[in-house]
A and B are shown apart, each in its own frame.
Chain A
Amino acid sequence: MDERAAGPDEPARAGVDASVESVFREERGRLLASLSRRFGDLDLAEEVASEAIEAALVHWPVDGVPSRPGAWLLTTARRRAVDRLRRDRTYAARLAVLQVEADRADPAPAADADGELPDERLQLFFTCAHPALPAEDRGALTLRCLAGLTTPEVARAYLVPTATMAQRIVRAKKKIREARIPFRVPGVDELPARLPGVLQVLYSIFTEGYAASSGPTLQRSDLAEEAIRLARILRRLLPAEREPAGLLGLMLLIHARRAARTDAAGALVLLADQDRGRWDRAMIEEGRELVRVALTGGPPGRYGVQAAIAALHDEAADLTTTDWPQVVALYDVLFALTPSPIVALNRAVAVAMRDGPEAGLVLLDALADEPRLRGHHPYPAARAELLYRCGRFAEAAVAYREALEQVGTDPERAHLSRGLAAASAAAGAGSGSSAGSDSDSAAGTRDG
């Protein structure tokens, strides 16, 4: 059933006008949100949303696209849902109870004056990111329901077999249905506790696309772009909140560097060596404006601060002219908001740029016993590079080997292997020179 409801872009429907399909990526999420809100059941919503889209694919190429495509789809889908409920009385009885209780908890919004449908996707964001769902399923469900990806597409995004992903999505939907996770937007008083969960889901989709944790390709831009698209929707739906602006800004300021981040062969290019002329200036400008929004009018949030750090990198002509004192100061703010060893690691690398590699090493070595950095390859990689810059080549080679044992993607492995070769050669030569420094990957490419 799940696969039948997979959406408009299956091979069987290839050849359909691309402009018709592009309508549905956006509309499918809106449809699902309205329908799940109305019928209190995600499975039924998915089923009739897909039927409505199939109907549109039959009728629109012949009759033309209706003036309000969203309203047409919703009316068609609702009619199908009512048909389905007439056929299945038990199901209808169960949904009727759900509906009465859902309305009691959260009355449905009316269409606005010009008859346009209210955008009810915000409640779907909160349902998909609900803390009662397994953390690893929240991103998958968000991509499925709000980004309009098919289950095979979500499976590819997370590099798991389609059958595995289908099972995870079925299980998550079963929990939503049977534990009755509501389709509702948290109240103003609950928002501070619930919004970070939604932002975290979008950011994890982005980072999965930005630096795939395993596999032959370092970046999967399409996944990062899905995350950006979702963050834009969330920002539109919550215009008064500053952290969605900060998150969108952070994503744009990192994504702006995508063209320069790998070379023609797919190898990782460090921030120090990136051709900054290839950075996307328009995207950086948009990101900087969002940083301004995120950091104005109240205490800063973690995504706003991370975006500000990314902006400092994007504004600099090169590494040496980067405002490292300001970067370190922002990491201090970030550490106060989210005291994690990952933030401490990034701060140490920034301190190394401000005060020299020895100062950074002192801070890194103080983190040696952090359980959360065990198996986290940026830690030994950053140590290796600072040790190399200090001329401690033999120790650098050991740290490079340690990083290589932990790293997942091939381009990052290649980069570390080059570092290891350089360190081994220098150590073998017994030279004290530290020429050829190509450090700072941790500062530039990991703004988390």
Chain B
Amino acid sequence: MKYMLLIHSGAVDAEGGAPECGVEEWMAYDKEVKDAGIFVSGESLADLVTATTVRVGEAGERTVTDGPFAESREVLGGFYVIDVPDLDVALDWAARCPGARGSGAMVVRPIADFSV
């Protein structure tokens, strides 16, 4: 069963990264996920100031705006999709992620399966 682990960082430093964890910890975690054979996909997102929002109105007109900015405290900084037997295993992997520490939080969401 596939789960998406959404990495939310609470406080963001000047470079847009979570201040609590070093690059080495992230690399070590990434290696662990891949070595365990559960990795499906995963990306880290570029700084929030690079984000752009698009909306399409009823008449088909497109509105493009800068942002969103970090008005809410939690910023989505990246994600993993992993394939594991059940929620407990997914929660274990989320708990080991550096993004779970300090002001960060991980949100675990099952991937909807429409194949059966």
Contacts and interface: CB of A to CB of B under 8 A. Distances in A.
A132 B86 CA distance: 12
A184 B116 contact: no
A105 B85 contact: yes
A182 B87 contact: yes
Interface residues of B, number: 9
Interface residues of A, number: 17
A105 B116 contact: no
Given A90-B116, A94-B116, A101-B1, A182 B110 contact: no
A186 B89 CA distance: 11
Given A90-B116, A93-B116, A94-B116, A184 B1 contact: no
Contacts of B110: 178-180
B85 to A, nearest CB: 4
Contacts of A71: none
Given A93-B116, A180-B1, A105 B86 contact: yes
A24 B64 CA distance: 63
A123 to B, nearest CB: 11
Interface residue SS majority, chain B: mixed
A132 B1 contact: no
Nearest to A92: B116
A182 B116 contact: no
A362 B56 CA distance: 64
Contact of A132 (B85, B87, B89, B116): B87
A6 B3 CA distance: 33
A304 B110 CA distance: 38
A59 B114 CA distance: 42
Contacts of A181: 86-88
Interface in A83-122: 90, 93-94, 97, 101-102, 104-105
A94 B1 CA distance: 11
B33 interface: no
A254 B29 CA distance: 49
Given A178-B110, A180-B110, A101 B91 contact: no
A102 B85 contact: yes
* Chain B CB within 10 A, most for which of A90, A101, A104, A179: A179
Contacts of A94: 116
21 contacts: A93-B116, A97-B116, A101-B1, A101-B86, A102-B85, A102-B86, A105-B85, A105-B89, A130-B87, A132-B91, A178-B110, A180-B1, A180-B85, A180-B86, A180-B87, A181-B86, A182-B85, A182-B87, A182-B88, A184-B86, A184-B88
A-B pairs, 9 with minimum CB distance: A182-B86, A101-B85, A105-B85, A94-B116, A180-B86, A179-B110, A181-B87, A179-B87, A180-B1
Given A105-B86, A184-B86, A184-B88, 12 more contacts: A90-B116, A101-B1, A101-B85, A102-B86, A104-B85, A130-B87, A132-B87, A179-B87, A179-B110, A180-B1, A182-B86, A186-B88
Interface of A: 90, 93-94, 97, 101-102, 104-105, 130, 132, 178-182, 184, 186
